[in-house]
Structure 1
């Protein structure tokens, strides 16, 4: 009996999904945000198949350091090993399935189940039980009954990902050329990044896709939804995204990053001039490290989602996971990411700025939460759920002649990334295995070294 989790059977496919998701026609149907059958398929074919973000290296520095999180609705423990590596284990005792860890984070020499006293070391191996002698007469083999491991664990620039599917592509293949853009936040200084402060957790009565798609490429809402909040934080007028000289929407296999090249537009709305100053101070070294183009991205007006549910805002430096809790509910995990090399005062300022803007009572988060909840609730209506929703902006904006990697589209005010997000979602729901998931990319796969 292996300690790896058994492969989930995904041979059955949801019929008729193409009727609610017409990418070429620039439309989706509202019922994808409320339908229970679709949600069950998502848990099986998206969350049990894709690479999911589970934590940051800085959260588990020493042997026995751990955090708990979820992959879809499966609870897992992310724990540092004696070897220095990381394991991701199901947070479920293999005796009766009880949770073995109830803390969000900590450091331990092992885990003990409250129910029957089964105990496990940091590697997940079963090392003892209550009344252990009674097991000896039943030919019990402890080596076969440890905590179950996910199929694969890997990391990129401090970001730890895991997948339940042993047939998944490698993490490098999964992220593809999007890593070139990720480096503008996660590798713009020597030493990389770290998470500061704790995890901000909140819940919303919305579908996970609405929130993830908002970050994959919807800057369109910002100038309207967040106008008053941005004016309050900036103390005056707000620049229009349409006035930027140069901006882009880029995507790859459902991942999307929309950005301008204004350097500090996102960080400015935190209302702290010292953070603006810090980014301008490091910009020359970023240009030397990553090139002039990406040095203009470090705090620019931008947002990103790595499919399916890992998102971040450069400049505002909030990293979040949209954890599904049913078709009409999410739990949001949010952290603040900073450069390790940044002065402590700068790290503290970013943490406070995030609390003011993108926390449950933040001036921007409240705007978004209300919109997302009502987008979901309207889909409960049997007639309303079947109406077409428009995602057709920027149909003819693909850039053929560019040196930038991935699929590149002109302008941020564009729904190209949203279409790519829903196309990947549809493809996964219709595929029986990774081998059947089509490659719809036409941009450059090579990442400049």
Structure 2
């Protein structure tokens, strides 16, 4: 991390023992600039799913913070991730969202880079004298790349911990989504982009643990889709918040609500038939977690809904705007008709035109825009729900709180945010959870 002195103590923007967060972290440009440096230039971030780049020379363009990057499949099957910016005058070298190519050529002066990011050639190279340029030193800036069960991650920080350490015991939960059967998962259909005039953290914190809003915000939409029946409640006596390293999963254990929200009876039937195999593979507890009313975020900016199967990343575009990219994730071994039914359900619910997604976007924009007021943004926001409900659970790893209706995961997310914002090096990032499954196979 940067050796420069960090003058601001970002822990002062919250008191998580009392349960409040300062509104300024959702508005001020200076804080946002520090997020780009201390979080997005340092942390592991989701880039793509393996299924998005199945063949050699396939590529996909995205962002890490506001740094444009290209992910490209190599001939040996590995993936490289590098900056989407020419090393000559800095122009963007690839304007396509995805595709297959043998090289990337800059529009400005015709510098050509391979799918490995190395500088391969210059147009009109005769204008250079011998010794003017060593092409081997002018390739595109490379990121560290690793993957977990189909999800590709990258970081530009050479000192960052391994992806395995970054995810930690959260892999125990991720396997509920990613490892239900031998075939693994895939993204189906095309991805969708949507821009929302809101701070990126509102989307992440909503998915990291806000079951509470669903009972009110989504009630009318759910009734419209389900014969005027209300939103299915979670059992407060058997539901939880679990988090570690800023990642969080809030969930019930009834195995039904999110699949029901999808509104596709054949999908419910498919999962009920699959449930015994899921229990055999993952254990009874995890088989009951899947499909329950649940939402998940991976720190810093990736989220999904297990059961509904929407998967998304929140890409910051300033303190008051983000780009949301979303896909539908399914098991590879599913029958095609089940995959299609899930995709239709996602489009009807959590999609820019979906019945439930529109509710959220409007709220997040309101959460952000009100802070334009000087007096308003001096205030605090309440994050105290369930503050005394922390428990030790014999089976569930992580920092666990009882009840699905809780601000616990949001508090842990902002604690991790402040830890990284304050740290001059990864050695200074506090360890707040002792891994239970460290070094062990998670399935």
* TM-score normalised by the chain length of structure 2: 0.97
| Aligned equivalent of 2:54 | 61
User: 1:344-363 to 2 correspondence within 5 Å?
Assistant: 344-363=336-355
Q: 1:16, CA displacement in angstroms? A: 4.1
Shift of 1:71: 0.2
Corresponding residue for 2:65? 72
1:324-370 residue CA offsets vs partner (Å, 9 max, x unmatched): 00000000000100000001111111111111111111111100001
How large is the Cα RMSD of the aligned pairs? Answer: 1.4
Distance 1:399 1:442 in 2: 15
- For residue 191 of structure 2, the aligned residue among 199, 210, 217 is 199
Match of 1:47 in 2: 40
CA deviations over 1:182-230 (Å, ceiling 9, x no partner): 1111110111000001111000010011110000001000000000111
- Aligned match for 1:158, one of 125, 150, 160: 150
The residue number in structure 2 matching 1:290 is 282
Asked whether the 8 Å contact 1:407–1:443 carries over to 2, the reply is no
Partner of 2:107: 114
What corresponds to 1:254 in structure 2? 246
String of CA shifts for 1:256-275, please: whole Å, max 9, x gaps: 00011121211211211111
What is the DSSP-based 3-state SS (H/G/I as helix, E as strand, rest coil) of the residue aligned with 2:182?
Answer: coil
2:407 corresponding residue in structure 1: 415
Give the 3-state SS of the residue equivalent to 1:296 in structure 2: helix
Contact 2:45/2:301 (<8 A) preserved: yes
> Which residues of structure 1 form unaligned runs of 5+?
1-7
C-alpha deviation, 1:440, in angstroms? 1.5
For the 8 Å contact 1:407–1:442, the answer to whether it is kept is no
Structure 1 distance, partners of 2:3, 2:33, is 11
Q: How does 1:138-149 map to 2 (within 5 A)?
A: 138-149=131-142
Task: Name which of structure 1's ranges 105-114 and 393-402 shifts more when overlaid on structure 2.
Answer: 393-402
> Is residue 323 of structure 1 aligned with residue 315 of structure 2?
yes
Alignment of 1:185-196 (within 5 A): 185-196=177-188
Are the aligned partners of 1:111 and 1:119 in contact in 2 as well (CA < 8 Å)? Answer: yes
Cα 1:100–1:274 shift into 2, 3 Å: same
Measured in 1, the distance between the counterparts of 2:437 and 2:276 equals 27
Query: In the comparison of the two structures, how many residue pairs are matched?
Result: 441
Counterpart Cα distance in 2 of 1:429 and 1:161: 21
CA contact (8 A) 2:236 2:404 kept: no
Q: Whole-Å Cα distance in 1 between the matches of residues 4 and 39 of structure 2?
A: 13
Q: Which residue of 2 aligns with 1:309?
A: 301
- Aligned equivalent of 1:218: 210
Structure 1 residue 406: Cα displacement: 1.2
Separation in 2, partners of 1:326, 1:432: 23
Q: CA deviation at 1:380?
A: 1.3
Deviates more, 1:137-146 or 1:33-42: 137-146
1:93 is aligned, of 86, 91, 95, to: 86
Offset from partner CA, 1:16-63 (integer Å, 9 cap, x none): 423321112210111110000000000000100100000000111111
Q: Give the Å deviation of 1:433.
A: 1.0
Q: CA deviation at 1:442?
A: 5.3
Q: Distance in 1 between matches of 2:70 and 2:418?
A: 30
1:33 and 1:381 mapped to 2: Cα distance? 12
Q: Is it true that 1:434 corresponds to 2:426 in the alignment?
A: yes
Q: What is aligned with 1:129?
A: 122
Q: Is the 8 A contact 1:252 1:406 kept in 2?
A: yes
Of the structure 1 ranges 153-162 and 432-441, higher mean CA displacement relative to structure 2 is found in 432-441
The answer on 1:12 being equivalent to 2:16 is: no
Is 1:367 matched with 2:362?
no
- Whether contact under 8 Å (1:78, 1:87) holds in the other structure is yes
What's the counterpart of residue 174 of structure 1? 166
3-state DSSP of counterpart to 1:383: helix
Matched residue SS, 1:278: helix
Alignment counterpart, residue 235 of structure 1, candidates 211, 227, 230: 227
Q: 1:86 & 1:209 partners in 2: Cα distance? A: 28
